[in-house]
Chains A and B, each alone.
Chain A
Amino acid sequence: MTTTQLEGSAPAGAPARAQRSGGNKLVRFIIVRFLLIFPTIFILVTMVFLLMRTIGDPITAALGGRLPAEQLAERIHEAGYDRPIWVQYFEYIGQVFTGNFGTTITDNRPVVDVLVRYGGATLELAFYALIVAFIVGIPLGMLAGYLRDKWPDAILRIFAILCYATPVFFAGLLLKLIFAVNLHVLPVAGRASVRTELSLTRVDNPTGIYLIDALKTPNPGAVYADLLQHAVLPGVALGLLTAGIFLRLVRTNVIGTLSMEYIDSARSRGVREFRLVTNHAMKPALIPIITVIGLQIAVLLGGAVLTETTFEWKGLGFTLAEYLTARDFVAVQGIVALLAVIVALTNFIVDIIAAIIDPRVRY
């Protein structure tokens, strides 16, 4: 439980050999974990490909009924969808590993462009949501764990379950109803007001991440104020979902660590209760949080699709929903495959961080 120190900060007296083998283990873990990314991506992309092809070729799905049969057949031939499925499959896998995720049918755009254009917005939303989750989930989780089985704990646990039980889009609709429509204190939808969006598109080399682009605008203060006003409701709607999970996780682990002997010993040395919880019991309890953040990235991406649709937040999820409505399944397949790659990569990074912090993870 107490082995939270970094590999490099081993006590000076520790035998050099043990230290070296620990380092080798870490390197080995990183290499094995890195190699595991490829089968994961491969499996997901294969699954998505096969599932999407069970309904036939995407061109008929998107344009069937709107084009005469000859033109349709011609377009299918041009795109190569009349070839055997395994030829298409290997071509697709090859394309994915070279970073080509296809071209959308409805507006003829490479899927990678869609990511570049809208990825920043989704990243921003996930960032806001994580901040909300940390601010709400961790302190409340500590409180609930410390006051275990007393009434604040009961209320907090019900709050955590409610966070989980409320679909993000319903939370979003409620927040909109209360704060935007009835109280008029926050904007109803969008990432920024029209004027701010205009000034943001005028900056040199826009990144699409408004938080960064805003620095280059002539009046960053006003732009940031506008951006944050728009961010509050979507950030809270999506963040509460993760906050509930953090709360429960911190609570469980704080309960676990509070019963450890080193807590009793710290208490007998006269460490104050507040410090006992926030420092002594908290540090080991935070390790599982890091592991769970990896899974939360996937949850946040799924939730982002719904949150973005609710708030017309023009990110990857919003775009995905639009392509879904337009029945452009090449775009859907491309975006989903791309997200699979992103999820696999973030999970890799999170696992490595967890392994560096907690030596027990390395196997």
Chain B
Amino acid sequence: MASLTGPRGLINRLPIVHQLRQSVGLQRGMLIAGLVITGLFVLTAILAPLLAPYGYSTLRDEDGVFGAQQPPGGKHLLGTTVGGYDVLSRVIWGTQTALIVIIVAVVLSIFLGVFLGLVSGYIGGWVDRVLVVIADGVYAFPSLLLAIVAAIAISGGQSSFWGGIMAAAISITVVFIPQYFRVIRAETVRIKSEAYVESAMVIGSSAPRIMTQHVLRNATRTLPLIFTLNSSEAVLTLAGLGFLGFGIEPTAAAEWGYDLNKSLSDVTSGIWWTSLFPGLAIVLAVLGITLVGESLNDLADPRLRTRRRADVAPAPTAAASVVPGGSLTDAVDLDSLEARS
């Protein structure tokens, strides 16, 4: 008990648990609200087969076809879409698609981005300079446009379930890599000049060992923060791609952006249920993850942190800022990371 839950125990040093204990008042409320919404989102995704009344591509049951644009009520709690699908079922199944895309996109971009950032920052020289210019170029570009181009390249614009998910996830990855790259590179450059890295060089440790053992371990403290920001952005990019017609076909999976695109013409004729519910699902999913990220950001930024709980000792992970150095610019950088949707 003491070793696991004490002030410096293992559980308390886990990223989110630590911040939860550290927070008070409004910040704690925001963090908890975010965690609850995110938890519900994940649960819905896992339990989708049990929760959804119908399949995502079900058009009929034993009583015959559902019919298109049926208003909410009766057999269809949230009505049916213009294509004759059950709205509630598609909203619930959509969480699954979104969660898979988040996981694939974030895992891919963390691995590639961290690797490139580490190597670039550690080696320096012209490799570093070239990579920085490339990353900055990609970073400044509208991410949705880049995702469109990547989606065309990967799937040719039309997709099956895994094809569509991979296309969306990889397009999002292309956009995210520069963000991880920038952060990890900046940290690496800073850590490289620390005395313990120099001592490791002196005693003859190999470059890969120094990079993984000494630099990487100390450079990852900001990752949970970017992780949440990117997860929420992944949901938005997926929906944006779907809205522009790069979504996953309705027979392959449920995708909120696709449903919103199909509901465009419904809106003009006053049919509100086909757009409202998938849209709210996007907002809630992004809201939950962003609330978590936002709270982590505030708790990590000494200028924004309100008070600490007196009984919790500050841990080193608390003092994290995305860009070390300029105290003014790091907030800007965080906001701009988040600003890219």
Interface presence of B204 (CB below 8 A): no
Cβ proximity bits A171-182 to B, threshold 8 Å, 1 near / 0 not: 001101100011
Stretch of B182-190, B211-219, B238-246, B313-321 at the chain-chain interface: B238-246
Interface presence of A30 (CB below 8 A): no
With A161-B291, A249-B335 as contacts: A54 and B153 at CB distance below 8 Å: yes
Q: When chains A and B are docked, how far (Å) is the Cα of A1 from the Cα of B329?
A: 12
Chain A residues within 8 Å of B338, by CB? 164, 245
Chain B residues within 8 Å of A292, by CB? 332, 335-336, 339
Cβ proximity bits B261-293 to A, threshold 8 Å, 1 near / 0 not: 001100111101001100100110011001100
Interface size class of B (residues with CB under 8 A): 35 or more
**Option from B26, B137, B275, B286 in Cβ contact (under 8 Å) with A173:** B275
Chain A residues within 8 Å of B245, by CB? 321, 324-325
Interface presence of B224 (CB below 8 A): no
Interface presence of B196 (CB below 8 A): no
Please determine whether A167 and B279 come into contact, CB atoms closer than 8 angstroms: yes
Cβ proximity bits A97-127 to B, threshold 8 Å, 1 near / 0 not: 0000000000000000000000000000000
Q: When chains A and B are docked, how far (Å) is the Cα of A173 from the Cα of B257?
A: 12
With A51-B150, A167-B236, A173-B267 as contacts: A298 and B335 at CB distance below 8 Å: no
Chain B residues within 8 Å of A255, by CB? 303-304
Chain A residues within 8 Å of B65, by CB? none
Cβ proximity bits A307-324 to B, threshold 8 Å, 1 near / 0 not: 001100000000001001
Please determine whether B340 and A295 come into contact, CB atoms closer than 8 angstroms: yes
Majority-rule SS of A interface residues = helix
Distance of B326 from chain A, by nearest CB (Å):
8
Stretch of B5-13, B82-90, B115-123, B140-148 at the chain-chain interface: B140-148
Looking at B150, B260, B287, B339, the one whose CB has the most chain A CB atoms below 10 A away is B339
Distance of B169 from chain A, by nearest CB (Å):
16
With A40-B137, A40-B140 as contacts: A165 and B153 at CB distance below 8 Å: no
Distance of A79 from chain B, by nearest CB (Å):
18
**Option from A40, A164, A302 in Cβ contact (under 8 Å) with B143:** A302
Chain B residues within 8 Å of A303, by CB? 144, 341
Please determine whether B331 and A299 come into contact, CB atoms closer than 8 angstroms: no
Distance of B153 from chain A, by nearest CB (Å):
4
Stretch of A8-16, A17-25, A269-277, A337-345 at the chain-chain interface: A337-345
Distance of A160 from chain B, by nearest CB (Å):
9
Please determine whether B133 and A36 come into contact, CB atoms closer than 8 angstroms: yes
Interface presence of A196 (CB below 8 A): no
Q: When chains A and B are docked, how far (Å) is the Cα of A347 from the Cα of B137?
A: 11
Please determine whether B268 and A165 come into contact, CB atoms closer than 8 angstroms: no
Chain A residues within 8 Å of B51, by CB? none
Q: When chains A and B are docked, how far (Å) is the Cα of A248 from the Cα of B290?
A: 13
Interface residues of A in 168-214 (CB under 8 A from B): 169-170, 173-174, 176-177, 181-182, 188-189
Number of residues of chain A lying within 8 A (CB) of chain B:
72
Please determine whether A161 and B294 come into contact, CB atoms closer than 8 angstroms: yes
Q: When chains A and B are docked, how far (Å) is the Cα of A189 from the Cα of B270?
A: 14
Please determine whether B275 and A288 come into contact, CB atoms closer than 8 angstroms: no
**Option from B133, B240, B246 in Cβ contact (under 8 Å) with A306:** B240
Stretch of A41-49, A68-76, A86-94, A219-227 at the chain-chain interface: A41-49
Q: When chains A and B are docked, how far (Å) is the Cα of A249 from the Cα of B331?
A: 8
Chain B residues within 8 Å of A259, by CB? 303
Please determine whether A167 and B26 come into contact, CB atoms closer than 8 angstroms: no
With A43-B134, A245-B338, A249-B332 as contacts: A51 and B149 at CB distance below 8 Å: yes
Chain B residues within 8 Å of A43, by CB? 133-134, 137-138
Q: When chains A and B are docked, how far (Å) is the Cα of A102 from the Cα of B57?
A: 40
Interface presence of A142 (CB below 8 A): no
Of chain B, the residue at the smallest CB distance from A56 is B156
**Option from A52, A253, A295, A309 in Cβ contact (under 8 Å) with B140:** A295
Q: Please give the residue numbers on chain B whose beta carbons come within 8 Å of chain A beta carbons, in ascending order.
A: 25-26, 30, 133-134, 136-138, 140-146, 148-150, 152-153, 156-157, 232, 236, 239-240, 243-246, 257, 260, 263-264, 267-270, 272, 275-276, 279, 282-283, 286-287, 290-291, 294, 303-304, 306, 327-329, 331-332, 335-336, 338-341
The contact sample of 22 A-B pairs, CB cut-off 8 A, is: A40-B137, A43-B133, A44-B137, A149-B306, A161-B291, A166-B279, A174-B276, A245-B338, A245-B339, A291-B332, A292-B332, A299-B341, A301-B145, A302-B144, A305-B144, A306-B240, A306-B244, A310-B264, A327-B157, A332-B152, A336-B145, A347-B140
- 6 A-B pairs besides A55-B152, A288-B329, A295-B340 with CB distance below 8 A are A47-B149, A149-B306, A164-B338, A255-B303, A298-B141, A332-B148
